[in-house]
Amino acid sequence: MDRFFEYILFSQEGAYTLHGSKPMTQIEVCLYSPQEIMAMREELGIEANDQNSSAIPVVDLGPFLDGWEKWQYLKNGTHFPRFILTSKQDQEYPKLYHMYLINVLEASLVITENYPFFRTALGFDFDPLESILEVEEENSKFWETIFTRSDLIGILYGFGLRNSQCFSWMVGASSSEDLDIPDAFRGSLSRSSIFSSDGMFNGKESAKDLKIPTFRSFQDDDPFIQKYEEERKKIQSLYFGKNAGMVAIETLLK
């Protein structure tokens, strides 16, 4: 299952959740064939060479799929003391799955630290730890709301309240001219936002290719960028000369 974990850890940045402070990582698993993807992209009017569209991911998963099939067989009987590794089928694309790696402690703590913000958005009281564990349930009001809010999910992805809220405002300002947002404020969001990491992943990365998590930063000397740069060095050192699958499994089972 080496390629399975290499894709999760390095291509999809899950190493920061498994070994660092990132509470949660989403991993895209596309089971559509290249021919099916091309047909759907044409139907949506997406150019064949457009690699920037996120409507349908274009990633050659290759050997990862063997590990995915094994994981589907093993997951119901597998329990990790400190982590959750689960997947949900996309409601629009049945061969697209969203896999989630969650550090239960880090996720519970970041929600606790931002509880008033989450409580206001959700509209009801909740227990952070119990709510995190609901991610594997089909009808969790907590997660149904979380997955529709870029500000809340951004915090859980480890990007901080400032970055997550500013990103949410920026998306809202750019998608609707009806929002009562001053032009100066719109301009400020546009000028101050940058991608902290860039470049397309090809699904073949190893620890030496690990980048910091990709998110928009809305502050100079962003402490989250600095934090992930420090964690990257530690992760690369941890995996140097070692079998990625074995290191990952040993960590998950601790």
Q: Tell me whether strands 96-103 and 24-30 are parallel, antiparallel or unpaired.
A: antiparallel
The answer to whether the CB of 242 falls within 8 A of the CB of 43 is: no
The pLDDT value recorded for residue 180 is 60
Q: How confident is the model at residue 198 (pLDDT cuts 50, 70, 90)?
A: low
- State the DSSP code for 51: -
Q: How confident is the model at residue 181 (pLDDT cuts 50, 70, 90)?
A: low
The pLDDT value recorded for residue 231 is 97
When comparing pLDDT for 111 and 173, which is higher?
Answer: 111
Cα 16 to Cα 24, 34, 88, 241: the distances in Å are: 9, 30, 21, 19
For 112-132, letters b (16+ CB in 10 Å) and e give eebeebbeeebeeeeebeebb
User: What's the pLDDT tens digit per position in 136-162?
Assistant: 998 899 999 999 999 999 999 999 999
The pLDDT value recorded for residue 149 is 95
Output Rg (C-alpha) for the chain, integer angstroms: 19
User: What's the pLDDT tens digit per position in 31-58?
Assistant: 888 788 888 878 877 765 555 555 555 5
The pLDDT value recorded for residue 41 is 78
Our count of domains for the chain comes to: 1
The pLDDT value recorded for residue 204 is 62
User: What's the pLDDT tens digit per position in 230-244?
Assistant: 999 999 999 999 999
Range of the domain at 14: 2-253
The pLDDT value recorded for residue 247 is 95
The pLDDT value recorded for residue 123 is 96
**Amino acid (1-letter code) at residue 186:** R
Tokens of 80: 């990790």
Tokens of 177: 């001219």
User: What's the pLDDT tens digit per position in 103-138?
Assistant: 999 999 999 999 999 999 999 999 999 999 999 998
The residue-averaged pLDDT of 179-187 equals: 61
Confidence (pTM): 0.88
The answer to whether the CB of 64 falls within 8 A of the CB of 3 is: yes
The pLDDT value recorded for residue 65 is 83
The pLDDT value recorded for residue 31 is 87
For 190-199, letters b (16+ CB in 10 Å) and e give eeebeebeee
Angle at 60 between CA 56 and CA 63, to 5 degrees: 135
The residue-averaged pLDDT of 207-227 equals: 91
The pLDDT value recorded for residue 63 is 72
Average pLDDT, the chain: 86
Kind plus residue range of the DSSP H or E element containing 217: strand 216-217
